[in-house]
């Protein structure tokens, strides 16, 4: 005889409704862990049945309804423990020079709408991680790398003023995102490397604004400090108030052991995102276990950044398969 639970699940599936189902696992004979409980325990450095994990790539969808649906479908299909929401909406350009900016109360309304739809679709099944880019990156997108560098040299105070405005606008967005159901912000910092800025220039033109963002959103439990950095920049981030540090071990050359020796926060890394499509199950397993050994119990398994957008279903399924999701 069919059980009541199976009947209800079947009926919901037939109606096209996504049904929240916790990932099952046991820790030392305890009850199965839900996705949120697994993440909570990793943040606290407690034992888990398996490491919480997530991966992500860009959908490139501008419609908030399509964006939300693609994000939810991805989560249910690949059984991620954290729903990392991409942000492909551009910051609104001003009418005049790119740096003549005003603080915006809601710079990304379509992204907020997508977050609300994702929240409603998840029905509490997993934590939502919103994405935001640091002011330097946004300034480059509004103009160009060359234009930002030129302003830095010719009128540094004007650049600092523009970066401050962008910071305040993104803090406003982050607060709206958290109110819409996000449990944290993955704040991307891609300019802590010699290809973008010297350590001294990062310290002057970026670090104060990046720290301000984290200070303004410190109440969020799942903020990710997402770094494209190099070893000589590592010490600049030790005092950032972010509960999770995320970066690419393979691309940056910054070792997990180096970060663990300096940071007490949860470490989120391990998987080589650039070569993800070519990784075998055994290679994924080795990357996971190596990172976990060096990171310790405060560990979330992730790539260092988005995996290739053209990754196939079979390729994307390898990570949850290896860890037994």
Residue 314: pLDDT over 70: yes
**Structure token pair of residue 282:** 């055994």
Phi, psi of 243 (to 5 degrees): -75, -20
Distance from first CA to last CA of the chain, Å, rounded? Answer: 28
**Structure token pair of residue 41:** 């325990």
3 belongs to a structural domain: no
Q: Using CA atoms, how far apart are residues 104 and 320, in angstroms rounded to an integer? A: 39
Domain count, the chain: 1
Structural domain for 119, as ranges: 50-265
Residue ranges of E strands in the chain: 82-84, 127-133, 184-192, 224-229, 244-247, 266-271, 299-303
Instruction: Return mean pLDDT, the chain.
Output: 92
Q: Using CA atoms, how far apart are residues 222 and 240, in angstroms rounded to an integer? A: 14
260 belongs to a structural domain: yes
What is the DSSP track for 137-165?
Answer: HHHHHHS-HHHHHHHHHH-HHHHHHHHHH
97 belongs to a structural domain: yes
234 belongs to a structural domain: yes
238 belongs to a structural domain: yes
pLDDT digits (tens, 9 = 90+) for 106-158: 999 999 999 999 999 999 999 999 999 999 999 999 999 999 999 999 999 99
Q: What is the pLDDT of residue 24?
A: 40
Residue 32 binned pLDDT confidence (cut-offs 50, 70, 90): confident
Q: Where are the alpha helices (DSSP H) in 180-252?
A: 199-205, 207-216, 249-252
Q: What is the CATH number of the domain that holds 68?
A: 3.20.20.210
Q: What Cα–Cα distance (Å) separates residue 244 from each residue in 43, 136, 147, 148? A: 8, 21, 32, 29
Residue 2 binned pLDDT confidence (cut-offs 50, 70, 90): very low
Q: Using CA atoms, how far apart are residues 95 and 271, in angstroms rounded to an integer? A: 42
């Amino acid at each position: 005889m069919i059980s009541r639970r199976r009947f209800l699940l079947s009926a919901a599936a037939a109606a096209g409704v996504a049904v929240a189902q916790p990932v099952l696992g046991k820790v030392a004979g305890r009850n199965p862990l839900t996705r949120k409980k697994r993440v909570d325990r990793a943040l606290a450095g407690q034992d888990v049945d398996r490491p919480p994990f997530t991966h992500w790539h860009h959908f490139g969808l501008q419609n908030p309804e399509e964006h939300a649906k693609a994000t939810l479908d991805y989560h249910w299909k690949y059984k991620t423990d954290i729903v990392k929401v991409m942000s492909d909406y551009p910051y609104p350009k001003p009418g005049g020079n790119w740096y003549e900016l005003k603080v915006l109360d809601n710079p990304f309304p379509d992204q907020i709408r997508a977050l609300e739809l994702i929240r409603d679709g998840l029905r509490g099944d997993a934590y939502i991680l919103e994405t935001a880019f640091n002011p330097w990156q946004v300034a480059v997108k509004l103009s160009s790398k060359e234009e930002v560098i030129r302003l830095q040299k010719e009128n540094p105070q004007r650049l600092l003023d523009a970066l401050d405005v962008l910071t305040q606008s993104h803090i406003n967005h982050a607060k709206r995102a958290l109110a819409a159901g996000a449990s944290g912000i993955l704040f991307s910092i891609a300019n802590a490397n010699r290809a973008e800025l010297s350590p001294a220039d990062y310290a002057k033109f970026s670090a104060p604004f990046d720290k301000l963002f984290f200070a303004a959103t410190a109440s969020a439990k799942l903020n990710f400090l997402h770094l494209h950095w190099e070893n000589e920049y590592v010490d600049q981030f030790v005092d950032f108030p972010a509960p999770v540090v995320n970066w690419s071990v393979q691309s940056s050359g910054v070792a997990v052991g180096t970060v663990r020796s300096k940071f007490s926060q949860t470490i989120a890394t391990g998987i080589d995102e650039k070569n993800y499509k070519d990784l075998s199950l055994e290679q994924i397993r080795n990357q996971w276990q190596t990172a976990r050994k060096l990171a310790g119990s405060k560990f979330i398994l992730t790539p260092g950044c988005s995996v290739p957008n053209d990754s196939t279903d079979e390729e994307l399924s390898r990570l949850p398969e290896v860890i037994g999701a």
